Amino acid sequence: MTYGLIVRPILKFLDSENAHALSLKLGSKLSSTFPGQKMLSSLYNTPSLPIDAFGLRFRHPLGLAAGMDKKCEALSLWPSIGFSWIEGGGITYHPQGGNPKPRMFRSDSDRALVNRMGFNNPGAVETRRKLLETKEKGSWPRTPLALNIGCSKIAMSDNKPEEDYIATLHQLWDFGDMFVINVSSPNTVGLRKLGESNKLDRLLSSINEFRSNRDDTRPVLFKISPDALDDEIEMMVDIAVNNGIDGFVAVNTTTARPRPTSTRSRRAFSESGGLSGRPLRARSLEIIRLVYKKVGKNHPIVGVGGIDGPQSAWDAITSGATLIQLYSALVFNGPAVVKKTIRGLKRRLQQEGIVNIQDAVGIFSDNNR
Ligand SMILES: Cc1cc2nc3c(=O)[nH]c(=O)nc-3n(C[C@H](O)[C@H](O)[C@H](O)COP(=O)(O)O)c2cc1C
């Protein structure tokens, strides 16, 4: 209510990226004080709907998708608006400014964003320092934290991507409850080529070796591009499973464009970059179903792409996603989308006569084999 009537109209007059930075700053400040946290928690009070995945317990399935908190600077904010887990980053080893601005565009009529941020982030060493500081200040979130790992632009041109990923993991390993290997962002030239079989095998086997040397069972997930063909995805899933990957995130943003429904959409869609939000939903569901058909529940899937309420969350879960995430809906619907989604999921389970959300995972796919 407050968000739709007051905050969103104000943010609409700001350029998308400035609006984002401002919201993060204000939210982070508010959530770092006890009264602020209390106020946010009572505004965005989200019921629990516990689910287990990757050896961890989640208060409910819905987490914050990668890219919203690239610097891991607002970790206390996300749980106080209801998210049950956070994916911080994408983080690269080297600090990067990203692409020139403007690089984020919105289409309200299509509920879609186009971005070409280009892994703007302070780099792994500074992120480690920030995470350590957050821990020492006692403001570490009480929810699982996943870290999204990308590749520095310079390592792409030096042809040393594995070294870059490993150097980042080395800095951040002690801080993440899970890690997401990202070769699927469309905004770093050559990154998606790391999904080709030889390159992917080399990358994921060096990550697996890194983990074995650490004698640690921390889960490592692989994030899928919606623009890969189905047989390419099946090939990537095979390579990932052979190299010890624990689960999959489906999906990243797309370079495809739907038909725009307004002039503003036409303008946003004509920009280069990755599209997210409602138009991504159908392809995301297809890929969740494809991956679930291959790996079942042995390698849990995180469903992401156009989730903005109970129905889209239900569709992702029943297609095979154990956990879900959103980004764009937070921009268009505001923070209340989290509690509305979980309340709606709870109601849906009751209607279907399912006691435990875990039992809803994949039921659509299982019934349509
Ligand atoms: C501005 C922006 C930046 C993003 N940055 C990253 C990133 O660094 N790493 C990544 O794996 N995904 C990134 N994503 C993709 C999201 O994590 C998510 O996969 C995608 O937006 C689809 O979800 P949605 O439809 O709920 O937005 C970004 C998305 C947006 C809109």
**Alpha-carbon span 196 to 179, nearest angstrom:** 21
Whose CA is closest to 172, among 135, 125, 133? 125
Locate the ligand 1 atom nearest the alpha carbon of residue 113 and give its number.
31
**Alpha-carbon span 78 to 57, nearest angstrom:** 17
Whose CA is closest to 181, among 120, 243, 227? 243
- What are the structural domain ranges in the chain? 2-367
Is-contact 271 114, C-beta < 8 A?
yes
The arithmetic mean of pLDDT across residues 17-39, rounded, is 85
Measured from the CB, is residue 117 less than 6 Å from ligand 1? yes
Measured from the CB, is residue 67 less than 6 Å from ligand 1? yes
pLDDT band at 242 (very low <50, low <70, confident <90, very high): very high
80 is annotated as an active-site residue: no
pLDDT in tens, 290-339: 999 999 999 999 999 999 999 999 999 999 999 999 999 999 999 999 99
Measured from the CB, is residue 115 less than 6 Å from ligand 1? yes
* Distance of CA 120 from the midpoint of ligand 1 (Å): 13
| Burial zone of 190 (CB within 10 Å; 0-12 exposed, 13-18 middle, 19+ buried) | middle
pLDDT band at 32 (very low <50, low <70, confident <90, very high): confident
Considering only CA atoms, which residue is closest to atom 15 of ligand 1? 252
Locate the ligand 1 atom nearest the alpha carbon of residue 328 and give its number.
27
Token pair listed for 34: 């006890």
First to last CA, the chain: 42
Measured from the CB, is residue 304 less than 6 Å from ligand 1? yes
Considering only CA atoms, which residue is closest to atom 26 of ligand 1? 326
Task: Report the predicted TM-score, pTM, of the whole model to 2 decimal places.
Answer: 0.96
Measured from the CB, is residue 252 less than 6 Å from ligand 1? yes
pLDDT in tens, 150-194: 999 999 888 889 999 999 999 999 999 999 999 999 998 888 889
**Alpha-carbon span 306 to 328, nearest angstrom:** 7
**Alpha-carbon span 339 to 335, nearest angstrom:** 8
Under CATH, which number does the domain 2-367 receive? 3.20.20.70
Question: Given ligand 1 and candidates 110, 276, 304, which is best to mutate, with the most ligand atoms within 8 Å of its CB?
Answer: 276
Name the catalytic one among 80, 84, 107, 185. 185
pLDDT at 10 over 60: no
Locate the ligand 1 atom nearest the alpha carbon of residue 325 and give its number.
26
pLDDT at 1 over 60: no
Q: What is the pLDDT of residue 11?
A: 59
Q: What is the pLDDT of residue 291?
A: 98
* Distance of CA 189 from the midpoint of ligand 1 (Å): 17
